[in-house]
Amino acid sequence: LSFPPSPYFQTWFCNGGANSDEFTFTDNNLPVLTKNWDGQGIEIGSSPLDHDGNIDRSVEYEEILQPGQVFENEIRIDILTGSQVKSLQDDIVGYNRLKRKIN
């Protein structure tokens, strides 16, 4: 997965969520999601994305688009081969192993 440079980005992973009260219908308060919403994704932006309003003022962007304006953000997804997956996994595991603190 690749996307344009961004001052801040985070990945998220969700596991579960079925029948939670986080997302409910307003008319009857029943859960919107009756199955787990397992998934992984990215968020990109000009703030630390923890929604506290602490944005990087040096980043120029249009906070509100005017009628007819558009913002396009190209995200590219490539399917990896088995050997590419193995190589990437080895890189990630190796990096994590080097960063692990030993008690």
Outline where the chain has alpha helix (H): 82-99
| Element housing 41 (H / E) | strand 39-45
Calpha distance 11→39 (Å, rounded): 11
3 state SS of 93: helix
In one-letter notation, the amino acid at residue 17 is G
pLDDT at 80: 87
Cα angle 71, 9, 92; round to 5: 135
pLDDT in tens, the chain (103 residues): 777 777 777 777 676 789 988 889 999 999 999 998 777 677 777 666 656 667 777 777 777 888 999 878 788 888 989 999 899 889 888 888 887 776 5
**Does the model's pTM come out above 0.85?**
no
pLDDT at 75: 84
Q: Report residue 31 CA to chain centroid gap.
A: 23
